[in-house]
Structure 1
Amino acid sequence: MDMREAMKKQNEVVMFLAKHVFASEATHSNIVFSPASIYSALTLVASGPGDPYQILSLLKSSSTDELNAVFTEILSVVYAGGSAANGGPEISSVNGVWIEQSLSIDPKFKDLFENFFKAAFGCVDFRSKAEEVRMEVNSWVQDRTNDLIKNLLPHGSVTEETEWVYANALYFKGTWKQPFEEDDTRDRKFHLLNGSLVSVPFMTSNEDQYVSAYDGFKVLRLPFLRGGNGDTNREFAMYFYLPDEKDDGLDNLVDKMASIPGFLDSHIPRREVKVGRLRIPKFGISLGFLVSKVFDRMGLCLTSSLYHKACIKIDESGVEAAAASVDESCGCYFGMEPPKRIDFVADHPFLFLIREDKTETVLFVGQIFDPSESSY
Structure 2
Amino acid sequence: MDDESRPSKKPRGGAGSGLTAFALRMAKQLHGTKKKNLAKKKNLVFSPLSLYVALALVVSGARRDTLDELLALLGAASREELDEFARGVAERALADQSAAGGPRVAFACGLWHEKTLALKPAYRDAAVDAYKAETRAADFVFKVSYYARSTTKEAREEINRWVSKATSDLITSILPERSVHPLTGMVLANAIYFKGSWSLPFDKELTVTRRFRRLDGSRVRVPFMSSGRSTKQAVAQYKGFKVLKLAYAPYRIPTWDESPYQMRWDEREKKHVLSHVSSESSGGARFSMCVFLPDARAGLPGLVDRMAAAGPSFLWDHLPKDRVEVGEVRLPRFKLSSSSKLKPVLQAMGVEAAFDADRAHLSGMLVAGWLVLEQVFHKAVVEVNEEGTEAASSGACTIMLISDRLGPTPDFVADHPFAFFVVEEVSGTVVFMGHVLDPSEHAE
TM-score under structure 2 length normalisation: 0.79
User: Residues 134, 168 of structure 1: CA spacing in aligned structure 2 closer, same or farther, 3 A cutoff?
Assistant: same
- Amino acid of the residue matched to residue 125 of structure 1? D
The aligned runs of 1:34-49 (5 Å cut-off) are 34-48=47-61
* Structure 2 contact 87–129 (Cα < 8 Å) conserved: no
1:229/1:139 CA distance change after superposition, 3 Å: farther
Name the structure 2 match of 1:236: 287
Equivalent residues in 2 for 1:41-60, closer than 5 Å: 41-48=54-61, 51-60=66-75
Where does residue 215 of structure 2 map in the other structure? 193
Q: In the alignment, is the contact (CA less than 8 A) between 2:83 and 2:126 conserved in 1?
A: no
1:268 aligned to 2:319?
A: yes
The number of equivalent residue pairs is 366
Task: Show the 5 A alignment for 1:1-376.
Answer: 4-6=12-14, 7-25=16-34, 26-27=37-38, 29-48=42-61, 51-80=66-95, 82-128=96-142, 129-206=151-228, 207-226=231-250, 232-247=283-298, 249-261=299-311, 262-301=313-352, 302-303=354-355, 304=373, 305-331=375-401, 338-339=407-408, 341-375=409-443
Displacement of 1:70 in angstroms is: 1.4
Give per-residue Cα distances to partners, 1:306-362, cap 9 Å, x unaligned: 100001000000000000001000147xxxxx33x1100000111101000111100
| CA-atom RMSD in angstroms | 1.9
What 5-or-longer segments of structure 1 have no aligned partner? 333-337
Corresponding residue SS for 1:330: strand
Distance 1:259 1:227 in 2: 32
Q: Determine helix, strand or coil for the equivalent of 1:180.
A: coil
What's the offset of the Cα at 1:229? 12
Letter in 2 for 1:352: F
Q: Percent identity?
A: 37
Deviation at 1:228, TM superposition (A): 6.8
**Larger mean Cα displacement after TM superposition, 296-305 or 250-259:** 296-305
The more displaced of 32-41 and 112-121 is: 112-121
Q: Whose radius of gyration is greater, 1 or 2?
A: 2
Structure 1 CA distance for aligned equivalents of residues 136 and 322 of structure 2: 49
Give the whole-Å Cα distance in 2 for the aligned partners of 1:342 and 1:94.
41
Deviation by residue 1:68-95 (Cα, 9 ceiling, x = unmatched): 1211222232112x04121111111110
Helix, strand or coil: the match of 2:410?
strand
Residue identity opposite 1:13 in structure 2: F
1:185/1:201 contact within 8 Å kept: yes
Give the CA deviation at 1:243: 0.5
Q: TM-score, normalised by structure 1?
A: 0.93
SS of 1:264's equivalent in the other structure is helix
| TM-superposition CA deviations, 1:224-263 (whole Å, max 9, x none) | 002779993111000111111112x101101110001311
Residues 29, 367 of structure 1: 8 Å contact kept: no
Task: Indicate how the Cα distance of structure 1 residues 310 and 271 shifts in structure 2: closer, same or farther if over 3 A, else same.
Answer: same
Separation in structure 1 between the aligned mates of residue 62 and residue 292 of structure 2, nearest angstrom: 40
- Counterpart AA for 2:111: V
Could you say which residue in structure 1 is the equivalent of 2:260? none
- For 2:307 and 2:351, the matched residues in 1 are separated by 21
For the residues of structure 2 that align with 1:282 and 1:325, how far apart are their CA atoms? Answer: 26
Question: CA distance change for structure 1 residues 372 and 127 in 2, over 3 Å: closer, same or farther?
Answer: same
Letter in 1 for 2:241: F
